[in-house]
Amino acid sequence: MNNPIAVALPARPNYVFAGQRDRLLYLFYAGSFLTVRTGLPMNVSKEQSRPEDMSAASSALVSFTDLDPPLEDFQTAVLTGLSRPQKELPCKFFYDEQGSRLFDQICELEEYYPTRTEIGILEDRLGEIAELIGRGAHLVELGSGASVKIRTLLNALPDLAQYTAVDISRDFLLQSAITLAEDYPGLDVAAVCADYTSTFEIPPPRNRQSSRTVAFFPGSTIGNFTPAAATAFLTRLRSALKRGDGLLVGVDLKKDISVLRAAYNDAEGVTSAFNLNLLSRINRELDADFDVGSFRHEAVYFEDPGRIEMHLVSNRQQSVSVGDKTFSFAEDEHIHTENSHKYSIEGFRALCAESGFLPVASWTDSKSLFSVHYFTAD
């Protein structure tokens, strides 16, 4: 079984942020400079000569390791998923640049309680959490996105050995990491573009040894796994940590069904656009011809096994080509795109105990909508 945080040689070069001038970001690699325009999407091109006023790479703000999953992984997952009797697409592929931006919009929606509730818990319990993480830790965020929640922690952790952001969306990750490094000039920041459910290496802190590694896994992303897959993932994560290392994880709780339905079927249609964007990405990257307007978003809660399921539903009978493969859709046929499992506090603690983590503390908001947990590796 592959370890999600395991030793592996980088598939692409490491880049180090060296400075900024004239709205260009300068990245140092292998004795030469690359330039990245600050606008999105980022286009990386070789710089012929080193700008005279750029500092040496040793003064870098951000180190960047690109393990971006190759296109064939995306293609294989799409072709395999659409070939199954119940068509499905892995939710990890939601997060191209546009998908990442749409998800950030979701997090601001009135109906979508998880983000603001989790941040509220982090703020309310910040002193306790900071004490558990301790001084000199290496804080690693899995699925860092726009690096919004981490700021709450960083404000209370002035003596980190390093903060490492891990995300699958390359350009979005790099932009967010550079912004964070500029806002926290005394902090060593690293960015790793990787699928954290696959084998990759998290580089150790560049400039100092850490007292411990603490994995930060916010947003109830753990709910995207089935309970069995979550146990396997956490077991692999545990094997990558030392005894006494930490796991700080956000977990959505079981609650009134009407609250859940509204959170995944917002009135503005942002979640719908987020779901449908996956078809647009397939069109763009895999030479497909999905008529995106002929599919609709649906999100349904199932009491057993206690999860929201997101689907894309065909509005009519149609055929779709992906490269040289053709797939037929009946009217109202579904593509299953995401699960979001909800837990009780006791149920999630038991799941982590099976994976080699000892519960230390659990916190909830006043309405018991969401929870944050700290575990240590046994």
* Domain of residue 25, CATH code: 3.40.50.150
Sign of the Cα pseudo-torsion (212, 218, 224, 226, in order): positive
Please tell me the distance from the alpha carbon of residue 373 to that of residue 217, in angstroms, as a whole number: 10
Token couple for 232: 């396997």
CA distance between the termini of the chain: 20
Answer yes or no: is 334 within a domain.
no
- What is the pLDDT, as a whole number, of residue 199? 63
3-state secondary structure of 5: coil
Q: Determine contact, residues 94/277, Cβ cutoff 8 Å.
A: yes
Burial class for 253, CB neighbours closer than 10 Å (0-12, 13-18, 19+): buried
Answer yes or no: is 318 within a domain.
no
Answer yes or no: is 256 within a domain.
yes
Pairing mode, strands 246-252 and 213-217:
parallel
Q: Which residues contact 189 (CB under 8 A, 6 or more apart)?
A: 61, 62, 63, 162, 163, 164, 165, 177, 180, 181
Q: How far is CA 103 from the centre of its chain?
A: 11
Answer yes or no: is 63 within a domain.
yes
3-state secondary structure of 306: coil
| φ/ψ of residue 81, rounded to 5 | -65, -40
Determine which of 1-10, 68-77, 124-133, 273-282 has the lowest per-residue pLDDT on average: 1-10
Answer yes or no: is 326 within a domain.
no
Determine which of 10-24, 69-83, 200-214 has the lowest per-residue pLDDT on average: 10-24
The confidence band for 29, taking pLDDT boundaries of 50, 70 and 90, is very low
3-state secondary structure of 24: strand
Token couple for 171: 């350009």
What is the span of the domain harbouring residue 160?
1-266+343-378
Q: Determine contact, residues 248/376, Cβ cutoff 8 Å.
A: no
Q: How many CB atoms lie within 10 A of CB 225?
A: 17
Q: Which residues contact 350 (CB under 8 A, 6 or more apart)?
A: none
Per-residue pLDDT of 78-130, as tens digits, reads 999 999 999 999 999 998 989 989 999 999 999 999 999 999 999 999 999 99
Q: Determine contact, residues 334/312, Cβ cutoff 8 Å.
A: yes
- What is the pLDDT, as a whole number, of residue 168? 83
Answer yes or no: is 285 within a domain.
no
Please tell me the distance from the alpha carbon of residue 194 to that of residue 230, in angstroms, as a whole number: 18
Token couple for 109: 């929606």
Residues 278-285 have a mean pLDDT of 97
Q: Determine contact, residues 136/211, Cβ cutoff 8 Å.
A: yes
The confidence band for 142, taking pLDDT boundaries of 50, 70 and 90, is very high
- What is the pLDDT, as a whole number, of residue 206? 82
CA distances from 20 to 13, 17, 60, 199 (A): 20, 9, 11, 33
Answer yes or no: is 282 within a domain.
no
Q: pTM here?
A: 0.82
Number of domains in the chain: 1
Answer yes or no: is 322 within a domain.
no
Q: How far is CA 289 from the centre of its chain?
A: 28
